[in-house]
Amino acid sequence: MPDYPKNEFVLFSNLNKSKQEDSKEDYWSKSEWSLDEIHKLHEWAWNQATRVQNQRGEECVEVAMKLLPRKSKAGNDYYLAVISDPRTKQEEQAAAEDPNAPF
C-alpha cells in the first residue's frame, strides 16, 4: 500500500435520510467531533491552509469532503461524510486508483 501523507485533521459525520413525508429527499446530520480534531482544524486553517474568498466576499479555506454510502447495524442506509484537508490532484488520483486507500 502506498504511503499516503497524514491528514492534518479528519472529521466524520453520518448523514441520514429524512423519514418525514414532506422532506423525503433531505438528509440530516448530528455529528460528534473531538475537540482534538477541531483544534487541528483550527491550527491548519490559520497556519497552513490556502485562503480563498467565497461568493459573499468572506475569507475562507477549502476543505475536502467525501461521502461514502454505508448501511447501519439496523439496516438503514446512510452516508459517512469524511471531512479533511484537501489533497493534491496527484494524491487524489493515486487514492482513487488504490482499493486500499484510507477513504
Condensed to tens digits (0 to 9), the pLDDT of residues 39-87 reads: 999 999 999 999 999 999 999 999 999 999 999 999 989 999 999 999 8
Q: What is the pLDDT of residues 18-46, one digit of tens each?
A: 888 888 889 999 899 999 999 999 999 99
Which pLDDT score is estimated for 71?
94
Top-confidence residue, 33 or 1: 33
Decide: 103 and 95 in contact? Cβ < 8 Å. yes
Handedness of CA 63, 64, 69, 71 (dihedral sign): negative
Nearest to 29 by CA among 81, 71, 66: 81
CA distance 85 to 11: 10
What pLDDT does residue 51 have?
95
Nine cell digits for residue 82: 469524511
DSSP 101: S
pTM above 0.75, yes or no: yes
Residue 61: the pLDDT is 96
Distance CA 26, CA 101 (A): 29
Distance (Å, rounded) from C-alpha 59 to C-alpha 23?
33
